Amino acid sequence: MARDKKSAPEVNAGSMADIAFLLLIFFLVTTTIDADKGITVKLPPWSEEPPDPTKLNERNVFSVLVNANDQLLVRDEPADINNLRERAKEFIANPQGREDLAATPTKAIISLKNDRGTTYKAYLNVYNELKAAYDELWDEESQRMYGVPYSDALTTDQKNAIKKKIPFVLSEAEPTSFGDED
């Protein structure tokens, strides 16, 4: 059979689809995708029963409100985020035994409420400051009890003993409508 001078040589592409499919499978299997972890919060178990309407002692509640303009109201007074951590630590520990602060660290409750118009950045900043207050209190208690920082070489039992003395209690209320800070 004579070859036509105008026809171009052909490449057999029959196995190209198989190769592309195998490469696709390889990259899907070997690629890792990092997922955002977000804020780690342990939620209470779901219950069909209505909550106990126990009236809390206002002395033991450190209320933090963040309005739509990202402004803070701490215990019904305007506040600045720069001193929120220290105020929270003082409230929880109550080193002077003041009557207007928490009776004991085990009874202290931090109540965080935000507006639907609050920016995510402001919410995270406030949450981080409140969490940092607990972290610092745990570290101080660890230094006092064991002579080492909280994050270093403590056993799980030692960490649990500290958290039993200073439990992390942060209550987050339902956000209010935009501009309605009550």
DSSP 27: H
Q: What's the start-to-end Cα distance of the chain, in Å?
A: 92
DSSP 115: B
How many Å apart are CA 98 and CA 7, to the nearest integer?
97
Between the alpha carbon of residue 168 and those of residues 23, 51, 71, 84, 91, the distances in Å are 49, 20, 24, 16, 13
Paired residues of 113 in beta bridges: 65
* Other CB atoms within 10 Å distance of the CB of residue 15: 9
Predicted pLDDT of residue 36:
67
Predicted pLDDT of residue 175:
79
Which of 146, 10, 122 shows the shortest CA–CA distance to 65?
122
Rounded to an integer, the average pLDDT of 84-88 is: 94
Every domain of the chain and the residues it spans: 58-170
How many Å apart are CA 3 and CA 9, to the nearest integer?
11
7-50 pLDDT, tens digit per residue, is 777 777 778 888 889 999 998 888 887 776 666 666 667 778 87
How many Å apart are CA 80 and CA 84, to the nearest integer?
7
